[in-house]
């Protein structure tokens, strides 16, 4: 397939490289990042996109996505699909999709989970919003870049699924970390704590797969000095998106709101920026009740 790829950063570069390795022709554009192996760099986003059958965007946020989409959409070939894999707010995703569809294009919002490791290995999970027809066109690309693509319904529903998932993740990671810190203070061995909780009703992905305690459970960023993995800053971004969505939809999300507040404090005031989001454990370890 002829693909345009806009945004070749930490995630976009390995995703584009996997598409090239699978035999697709990829024209790329980024305002700063260098060309990944096999990607032909264009002089502008429009040049990368105008003859492509699918244009993939992997950008930092909704404001940038809307600006890039406003340039791309009028230049794209009718019937082509604009496939946004960035994590952005639901409202921006729906706006961009409406603009694309009005111009005779297909549009999908398809945020990912799996991080940089999943992008490099081609094992991402895509959560996809948009029409059946656009999903069918993009399907072979999801199969190259990921191991699973779930069609969640109309435009915006991919972003909705992503932020609901990550709201659960943020809350359960905090709960797991504060429970470890309490267990420490009660004299409970961390391995014993893991052995019980990981096979009891307190189990979760945060405990069982991504245990925040070093040396306990499967290998995780905790075993690597809390180098990300999934950075606390990105968790904060997703928690803020979930709170913005909850406000817009009049949904009561007190645990999500508190998780957003704690990650904001961690990232902005407590040296959490650039650390893995599971570094909440040393944060709790160092604190008392006040
Ligand atoms: P990144 O900052 O490494 O990459 C973004 C790229 O977009 C950069 O190279 C930047 O130069 C480029 N860019 C910015 N404005 C541009 C423009 N106007 N035109 C063209 N290029 C432009 O970020 P990332 O880690 O690759 O994340 C990308 C998206 O994926 C984000 O929405 C993020 O939330 C999401 N995401 C990231 C991860 C992760 O672990 N890194 C995991 C899941 C989802």
Residue 218 pLDDT greater than 90, yes or no:
yes
Local confidence band at 115 (pLDDT 50, 70, 90 cut-offs): confident
Distance CA 230, CA 275 (A): 8
Portion of the chain with pLDDT greater than 70, in percent? 100
> Which amino acid residue places its CA nearest to atom 34 of ligand 1?
87
Cα of 6 vs centre of ligand 1, distance in Å, is 9
Atom from ligand 1 closest to the CA of residue 67: 18
Q: Is the CB of 10 under 6 A from ligand 1?
A: yes
Specify whether the backbone of 19 is left (phi greater than 0), alpha (psi in -120 to 50) or beta: alpha
Give me the active site residues, please.
162
Residue 12 pLDDT greater than 90, yes or no:
yes
SS3 annotation, 5-66 = EECCCCCHHHHHHHHHHCCCEEEEECCCCCCCCCCEECCCHHHHHCCCCEEEECCCCHHHHH
Distance CA 3, CA 18 (A): 12
Q: How confident is the model over 131-136, as a mean pLDDT?
A: 98
Q: How confident is the model over 235-248, as a mean pLDDT?
A: 97
69-95 confidence digits (pLDDT tens) = 999 999 999 999 999 999 999 999 999
Q: How confident is the model over 159-167, as a mean pLDDT?
A: 97
Q: How confident is the model over 227-251, as a mean pLDDT?
A: 96
Local confidence band at 131 (pLDDT 50, 70, 90 cut-offs): very high
What residues contact 282, with CB distance under 8 A and at least 6 apart?
A: 226
Pairing of the two strands 112-113 and 124-130: antiparallel
List, in sequence order, every residue forming a beta bridge with 107; answer none if it has no partner: 82
- Per DSSP, the three-state class of 2 is strand
Q: Is the CB of 114 under 6 A from ligand 1?
A: no
Instruction: Indicate the pTM of the whole model.
Output: 0.94
- Count of CB atoms within 10 A of residue 264's CB? 16
Look at residue 45 in the predicted model and tell me its pLDDT: 98
Q: How confident is the model over 193-203, as a mean pLDDT?
A: 98
Distance CA 249, CA 281 (A): 32
Q: How confident is the model over 150-171, as a mean pLDDT?
A: 98
Cα of 87 vs centre of ligand 1, distance in Å, is 9
Q: Is the CB of 64 under 6 A from ligand 1?
A: yes
pLDDT mean across residues, the chain: 97
CB-count burial class (<10 Å; 0-12, 13-18, 19+) for 245: buried
Look at residue 290 in the predicted model and tell me its pLDDT: 81
Q: Is the CB of 58 under 6 A from ligand 1?
A: yes
Distance CA 259, CA 140 (A): 36
Q: Is the CB of 286 under 6 A from ligand 1?
A: no
Look at residue 22 in the predicted model and tell me its pLDDT: 98
Look at residue 117 in the predicted model and tell me its pLDDT: 87
């Amino acid at each position: 397939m002829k693909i345009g790829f806009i945004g070749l950063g930490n995630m976009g570069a390995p995703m584009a490289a996997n598409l090239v390795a699978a035999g697709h022709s990829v024209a790329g554009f980024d305002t700063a990042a260098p060309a990944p192996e096999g990607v032909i760099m264009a002089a502008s986003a429009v040049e990368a996109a105008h003859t492509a059958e699918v244009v993939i965007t992997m950008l930092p946020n909704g404001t940038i996505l809307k600006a890039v989409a406003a340039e791309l959409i009028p230049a794209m070939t009718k019937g082509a699909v604009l496939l946004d894999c960035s994590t952005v707010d639901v409202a921006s995703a729906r706006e961009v999709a409406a603009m694309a569809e009005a111009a005779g294009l297909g549009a999908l919002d398809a945020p990912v989970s799996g991080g940089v490791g999943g992008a490099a290995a081609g094992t991402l999970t895509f959560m996809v919003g948009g029409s059946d027809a656009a999903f069918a066109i993009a399907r072979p690309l999801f199969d190259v870049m990921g191991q699973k693509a779930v069609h969640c319904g109309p435009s915006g529903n991919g972003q909705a699924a992503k932020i609901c998932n990550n709201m659960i993740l943020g809350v359960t990671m905090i709960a797991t970390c504060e429970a470890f810190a309490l267990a420490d203070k009660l004299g409970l061995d961390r391995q014993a704590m893991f052995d019980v909780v990981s096979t009891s009703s307190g189990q979760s992905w945060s405990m069982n797969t991504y245990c925040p305690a070093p040396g306990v459970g499967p290998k995780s960023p905790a075993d690597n000095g809390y180098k990300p993995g999934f950075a606390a800053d990105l968790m904060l971004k997703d928690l803020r998106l979930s709170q913005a969505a909850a406000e817009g939809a009049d949904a009561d999300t007190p645990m999500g709101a508190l998780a957003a507040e704690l990650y904001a404090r961690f990232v902005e005031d407590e040296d959490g920026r650039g650390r893995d989001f599971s570094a909440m454990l040393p944060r709790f370890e160092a604190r008392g009740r006040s």
